[in-house]
Amino acid sequence: MLRRMLVLTAAVAALCVTVAAASTPSPLGTWKGQNQRIYRWIPYQGNGFEEHAMTSHRTSENKCLVHVNEAVYRYVPVAGGHYRVTAKIWHAKCNWDWEYESTIKLTVAADRMTESCDKQWTKVCWTYTRVNADTQAPTVQALQSTGTAGGDASLHYTVKDDSGRTHEELTVYVSSSDVRHYKTSLGPALAGHVYGYKLIGIPSDMTGTFTWCVRSFDAAGNASAPSCSTLSIK
């Protein structure tokens, strides 16, 4: 399902979200590793991070293909700037698993980020250089949306970002045990436009008013605060 632009002339009630500027440098964004490959860091499980390879390459051991935008590392905070790292490990037939790798200390400056490992916290074992200085998060607002049971629905929202391009993660809370997740591809994020994500094939017995939320990410990995509204299905 693809995101499409919907130009609406009427004002739509929305939940406003104010995004606070980050006070300290963040790992979020695009970096060049000391191996000269490009990586993008995005939010993961609250205060953690997920590192995506933005340079297609093959693993050194099994020569498995790592695709562009494929997650390769996950960082979960422990304390004091230390993170528990799990790595995507490719096996002989190029199937893979997430496996614990190590605990590292992450030090982030405006244009440089280092990892210290092997419990030698003053020794740098890996270095990144920031590719761009975009640290401004997008602003997104979920709008009241409607749909038809047995038909389709559209989740409407506005989004703007200084880069002009974002992708969104959308969540519909049907019930406590039925939470549905959707993602858009990177597309326009222009002030004054309303965007819609079309849900095709709404079940005929799915009627009522549901909560749905959206979060926006720019290409540098900056994330908006989530914004929520209602989806009415009749």
* DSSP annotation string for 89-125: EE-TTS-EEEEEEEEEEEEE-SSEEEEE-TT-TTS--
Q: Quote the CA–CA distance of 135 and 30 in Å, as a whole number.
A: 10
- Residue 220, pLDDT > 80, answer no
CA distance 199 to 148: 10
Q: Which residue from 63, 112, 55, 62 is spatially nearest to 72, judged by alpha carbons? A: 55
pLDDT band at 152 (very low <50, low <70, confident <90, very high): very high
Please check the confidence at residue 23 and state whether its pLDDT lies above 90.
no
Identify residue 161 by its one-letter amino acid code: D
Residue with tokens 């500027």: 21
Does residue 222 carry a pLDDT above 90? Answer: no
Model confidence at 18, pLDDT cuts 50, 70, 90, reads very low
Average pLDDT for the chain: 87
Cβ atoms of 29 and 40 within 8 Å: the answer is yes
Beta strands in the chain (DSSP E): 3-6, 29-33, 38-44, 48-53, 57-58, 65-66, 70-79, 82-90, 96-108, 112-116, 126-130, 139-142, 145-147, 153-160, 165-175, 178-183, 187-188, 194-199, 208-218, 227-233
* Radius of gyration over every alpha carbon of the chain, rounded to an integer in angstroms: 20
Q: What pTM was computed for the model?
A: 0.52
- Give dist(CA 87, CA 101) in Å, integer: 6
Round to whole Å and give the CA distance between 150 and 202.
5
Instruction: Note the pLDDT tens digit of each residue in 186-214.
Output: 889 999 999 999 999 999 999 999 999 99
In this predicted structure, the answer to whether residue 8 has a pLDDT above a threshold of 50 is: no
Classify domain 3-19+136-233 by CATH number. Answer: 2.60.40.2550
CB 159 within 8 A of CB 195: yes
Long-range contacts of 57-66 (CB under 8 A, 24+ apart): 59/90, 61/90, 62/90, 62/91, 62/92, 62/94, 64/90, 64/94, 64/96, 65/94
Higher pLDDT pick, 164 / 8: 164
Task: Taking residues 62-78, report their average pLDDT.
Answer: 94
How far apart CA 155 and CA 2 sit, in angstroms, is: 12
Kindly report, residue by residue over 26-52, the tens digit of the pLDDT: 898 889 999 999 999 999 987 899 999
Which comes out higher in pLDDT, residue 119 or 208?
A: 208
pLDDT at 6: 38
Of residues 61 and 14, which shows the higher confidence score?
A: 61
How far apart CA 72 and CA 185 sit, in angstroms, is 19
Domain positions in the chain: 3-19+136-233, 29-130
Residue 17 pLDDT > 50: no
Q: What is the pLDDT of residue 162?
A: 85
Kindly state the DSSP code that residue 225 receives in the 8-state scheme: P
